[in-house]
Structure 1
Amino acid sequence: MKLKNLYLGILASAFLFTSCSNNDSDDNNPAGVYDNGVFILNEGNFGTPNASVSFLSNDLSVFQDDIFNAVNATAVLGDVAQSMSFFGDKAFIVVNNSNEVRVVNRYTFENLGVITEKLENPRYSVVLEGKLYVTNAISKAVTVYNANTYEYIASIALDKTDERIVAANGKLYVMNGAYGSGNQVTVINPLTNTVATTITVEEGINSIEAAGNMVYVLCGNSDKSKLFKINTTTDIATSFESTTLKDSYNMDIDGSKIYYTSGVGVYVMDLNAASFSETALLTVADNNYSTFYGFAAIDGRIYTADASGFTADGVVTVYNDKGVVLKSVNVGRGPNGFYDNN
């Protein structure tokens, strides 16, 4: 359902012109109408420019669907909203099949511009030292842009799958795998825009997260699940595995906890754990590939998304850290990610 009711219209009008250029806002002093909440990225149907972004407030009382269209009535977000990253008061939305990165104000969602140069099926992005790094599936390169002016700077050829990307300890770590295939992480030196080293992990690499000076990589296949911890000072990885849990897929880090999925279950372990937890915190209904199409752990809550087979609106469910349902909302087609906007 699309909740664009009178209450939300009044709320948006009240805050639309309030803005701030930093991330230090709080609930009492919001930087804009879309501060203090979570963005839900809905990729839309492939080949159809119906990507959208939904917003859910931290207190779960305010939900608004398709906020890009609500704020920018004459603009179209595009075809397949793949991922999002932040820099100051900007949000960079990678629109995969449109071959562009849409730039908006993260607090008002006002359209600020679009990046298209050298993008070939872009996937994920991260900002480091004022530069935007974008992975590209077709060119198999990471393209670099000025995060303030959006100007193209360089391309870093990897000549292999480049998917999710994170920054840690002044370096970039790129996941060389997608759709259950791949077993490497490429480390990039951003000072020279060159590959520093390649780290081999387990076949089935699917998630990568940075926390402090460590990078965590989750791999899952039909035989096992394996977690790698990369020391970003030495780029040496240690690991542990479970042959009971197989095909672990999604991973997110929230505070001192690692949350991950396997089958229809959500599991949690400590950041410094030396073994997997094999007891599910919660389980969801199995809906084929739509199950856990989006997943995140944010501020002690677990966010899951069911894509509903891309034939109907996706469904997002929010749980507390005990696995109790707090909220369920219908969003756009193909919800694939959650982004904390605080």
Structure 2
Amino acid sequence: MKNLLKNQLGALALIFVLFSCNDNGGEQPLGKYDTGVLIMNEGNFGTNDGEVYHLDPSTGTLTADIFELENNRPFAGLLEDMVLEQDRLYLVANTGKVEIVNPGDFKSVGSVTDELNQPRSLAAASGKLFISDYGPYDASYATPDSYIAVVSGLDGGTVKKKIEVSNKPEDLFVNGKFVWVAGSEEGKLEIIDADAEAISKTIEVEGRPVLFFEQSGEVWVYSYDESNVYFHSLNLSSETVKEVKSFPMANPTGRIATGEDGKIYVTLSTGWPEYVDNIIEVSLADNSAKLWMNGSGFYGIGYDSERGKVYVANSKGFQGNGEVNVYEKDGADLSTLDVGRGPSGFLFR
């Protein structure tokens, strides 16, 4: 459910030309999914019908279920995250697997399907995959055995090691050989040495950290509690928190989008059954916050920095399929897209 605009040092880099360079320095035509917007539909619990839609903003063409379309089989999972890393797109399902596809044509190139429980996100470092995983539930539905799964190679395979971390790890961020982990339940940032495959440092932060992002040349981590949101700017070289900017807000969620000029769009929700939701525009530049939009059923948000549009996903209470509304930065409604079950995130290319 997390927002996908992590900006992990170029992981979501925009493509402005019709050709891209391959590993040998030559040029090759871009695939049909190398540009546009990928819409992540989480899917419904029990039916496990998560899928990805593709939107061509220039024509308005929306293509449904592109994983199944290109691989002749359903995705068959609850889609938690999409991560673009090193010319591969990783589809993370919290039902216990990671599917790896070529981002240009969405053809499968590998997977991780063994030894995972509830994976949340993924990062690549030192030629390995690091997958955050809640671990199994215990009898009280707690997750005391959360871990980071390590897979040798970038094209999937088996889990070679599980690194114990604090409960409910979420987003990951890579700086050189170090993998930063957002430990949401215990308010910790844990730093893993990818070569040693062990935690090298732990930092306590305010709130529940869930998402790393880059803004104005700095790396931040977003966290929240019941009545506040926090933005921690990080000093990567000294592995410390430089400063914390906090804003009082009721019912914040883990879903945000990074805009321009230090703007962050934060979603608030009372949750079931009321679903009274708001989107707050926060400015890290001048430490201000204002209401940007109110409504009901907001389940994800993204910002297309190339085209200057805001995408808001609405789950419709999981009563059938959801929809995505596209807005100008001033909130003007541009279009509505009928998408899959539980739309929750976007990847802009």
Corresponding residue number in structure 2 for 1:296: 302
**Closer, same or farther: CA 112–24 of 1 in aligned 2, 3 Å:** same
Deviation at 1:212, TM superposition (A): 8.2
TM-score, normalization: structure 1?
A: 0.81
Deviation at 1:125, TM superposition (A): 0.8
Verify the 8 A CA contact 2:183 2:210 in the aligned structure 1. Answer: no
Verify the 8 A CA contact 2:167 2:186 in the aligned structure 1. Answer: no
Corresponding residue number in structure 1 for 2:141: none
Verify the 8 A CA contact 1:47 1:79 in the aligned structure 2. Answer: no
Segment drifting more, 23-32 vs 223-232: 23-32
TM-score, normalization: structure 2?
A: 0.79
1:76-87 equivalent positions in 2, closer than 5 A: 76-87=74-85
> What 5-or-longer segments of structure 1 have no aligned partner?
1-22
**Closer, same or farther: CA 248–274 of 1 in aligned 2, 3 Å:** farther
Corresponding residue number in structure 1 for 2:295: 285
Corresponding residue number in structure 2 for 1:18: none
Corresponding residue number in structure 2 for 1:193: 197
Instruction: Confirm whether residue 242 of structure 1 aligns to residue 242 of structure 2.
Output: no
Verify the 8 A CA contact 1:218 1:248 in the aligned structure 2. Answer: no
Deviation at 1:253, TM superposition (A): 2.8
**Closer, same or farther: CA 90–171 of 1 in aligned 2, 3 Å:** same
Question: For 1:209 and 1:56, how far apart are their aligned partners in 2?
Answer: 24
> What 5-or-longer segments of structure 2 have no aligned partner?
1-12, 20-28, 136-144, 269-277
Deviation at 1:334, TM superposition (A): 0.7
Looking at secondary structure, tell me which structure has more strand per residue. 2
User: 1:203-260: CA deviations, max 9, x gaps?
Assistant: 34343324587431222233322221111111221112223x3343323334553423
User: 1:295-329: CA deviations, max 9, x gaps?
Assistant: 12221322211111111111111222222223220
Question: For 2:98 and 2:171, how far apart are their aligned partners in 1?
Answer: 15
1:88-107 equivalent positions in 2, closer than 5 A: 88-97=86-95, 99-107=96-104
**Closer, same or farther: CA 132–159 of 1 in aligned 2, 3 Å:** same
Segment drifting more, 25-34 vs 37-46: 25-34
Verify the 8 A CA contact 1:80 1:95 in the aligned structure 2. Answer: yes
Percent sequence identity is 24
- For 2:170, what is the secondary structure of its paired residue? coil
Corresponding residue number in structure 2 for 1:168: 175
- For 2:169, what is the secondary structure of its paired residue? coil
Question: For 1:227 and 1:252, how far apart are their aligned partners in 2?
Answer: 13
RCO comparison, higher one (Cα < 8 Å, 6+): 2
Q: 2:346 aligns with which of 335, 338, 342?
A: 338
Deviation at 1:27, TM superposition (A): 5.0
Question: For 1:283 and 1:211, how far apart are their aligned partners in 2?
Answer: 22
Q: 2:279 aligns with which of 255, 265, 268?
A: 265
Corresponding residue number in structure 2 for 1:121: 118
Verify the 8 A CA contact 2:191 2:202 in the aligned structure 1. Answer: yes
